[in-house]
Structure 1
Amino acid sequence: MSVLATVKTVIDTEGTARHNLLPVLTSLRSKLGSLSPEILKNVSQIMDIPMAHVYGTATFYSFLETKPMGKNVIRLCRTISCDMHGKRDVLNALEDVLAVKNGETTTDGLFTLTETNCLGHCHEGPVMLVNDEVFSSLKPENIPAIIDEIRKKR
């Protein structure tokens, strides 16, 4: 199915009303992986919503990626609570194991590493979300085993 056909199908399912924009974008992100400029333009035209509003919504929410992401998206909490519990050391370990910097995707396309706002597990920091799985109370020395386990699963 083409990108335009997918956009039309999702909008037909969710509806063209302005309040359906977030569900439309969420569904498209799930189906297509990321929200390219082409996708956002199609949504804008079909839903008759200004492109600035569609783009603003897509870039406001961290889970609505506007650039291609790896198969496994690692979101490391960047809040003060996780930072105080060693988030920087965990980030360094992730960067070392994956051989990427924050915001980058591994050359094999398996992992994208990014920091995100609070994941709601402040009492268990540092915390990361890999796709839909939460990893809490992280220690730098545990990162290689966690990444190896994810590689085996996916």
Structure 2
Amino acid sequence: MSERVFLQLGTRPVPYPDDVLARLDADAIDIIARYSSSEAPNPAMARSALLPLLHLVQSHDGYVSATGIEFCAIKLGLTGAEVTAVSTFYSMYRREPTGDYLVGVCTNTLCAVMGGDAIMDALREHLDPSDETVTLTHLECNAACDYAPVVMVNWEFFDNQTPESARTLVDALRSGSEVTPTRGVSLCTFKETERILAGFPDERLGAVEAGGTPGAPTLAGLRVAQRDGMRAPSVHTPTDSGSAPLGSEEANARESTKEKPAPAPTESVPPEKGH
């Protein structure tokens, strides 16, 4: 008779200690209540609480652990696979333990052209991968292209960076010095940031005060438009079909080309290889 072999897939969740579980339970009740009325509970609506719940478990574990996945699944009546599918889809949910400061370098097109790749290379050489204070990662575009190249620390912006300024930044983080982003108040740790993203109050002095104005790079296009007398095109009243009204000639031209096939590749648009 062949011997049975037990094969364990994945990591078996280790239960949270009782005191941690009690605290997370209380916070989870608060979060879920935002999405489902106690008078008329709606499980489908309550599932919307999954995103902040994932931030909540990250605020304790520093990443989305197997235990955190199980916690979220139990709270929302989901399977572990459903929670895992969501947590691995969004890049803000970490799959590995993260240091006190998550340093992200944007290497999308504009930041890369302006020096983002050089910054990433410099920090890779400068940082020890086993550093428990700073975790380095790539970032997708965070809509700060007017200040490229951009580095983010715990989702706070550090604009117009260079390899040297980025090295100085991570050295300050590792030394425990107070570090203030280009926009915003002093940084808090990754776990503290995650609790704020879960929807709990940001207690930092000045963190939620209104104010601030757009910088010169953001307004550059507007100033050029004003200088050159540029104006937005006039808005046409849409027809019942949702398209702007057309003159008879333009309408006829559109109708005659509607059914035509797409043009064949030309010298300026080479065909795919093998075709």
1:112 to 117, 135, 144: 135
Partner AA of 1:13 in structure 2: D
User: Greater strand percent: which structure?
Assistant: 1
Give unmatched runs, 5+ long, in structure 1: none
- Written as runs of structure 1 = structure 2, the 5 A alignment for 1:72-87 is 72-87=101-116
Would you say 1:9 and 2:26 are equivalent positions? yes
1:134 to 139, 145, 157: 157
Q: Deviations over 1:20-42 (max 9, x none)?
A: 11111122212332110111012
Shift of 1:6: 4.1
Q: Distance in 1 between matches of 2:75 and 2:155?
A: 30
Q: Distance in 1 between matches of 2:77 and 2:135?
A: 33
Q: Distance in 1 between matches of 2:115 and 2:74?
A: 46
Other-structure match for 1:153: 177
> Aligned-residue CA RMSD in angstroms?
2.0
Q: Distance in 2 between matches of 1:19 and 1:69?
A: 25
**Matched residue SS, 1:56:** helix
Partner AA of 2:141 in structure 1: C
Q: Would the aligned equivalents of 2:54 and 2:68 in 1 still touch at CA under 8 Å?
A: no
TM-score by length of 1: 0.85
TM-score by length of 2: 0.50
Q: Would the aligned equivalents of 1:7 and 1:42 in 2 still touch at CA under 8 Å?
A: no
Other-structure match for 1:63: 92
Runs of 4+ aligned residues of structure 1 deviating over 4 Å after TM superposition are none
Q: Would the aligned equivalents of 1:4 and 1:39 in 2 still touch at CA under 8 Å?
A: no
Identity score, percent: 28
Paired positions, count: 148
- Written as runs of structure 1 = structure 2, the 5 A alignment for 1:22-101 is 22-100=51-129
Give unmatched runs, 5+ long, in structure 2: 1-15, 33-42, 179-275
Q: Distance in 2 between matches of 1:45 and 1:99?
A: 37
User: Greater helix percent: which structure?
Assistant: 1
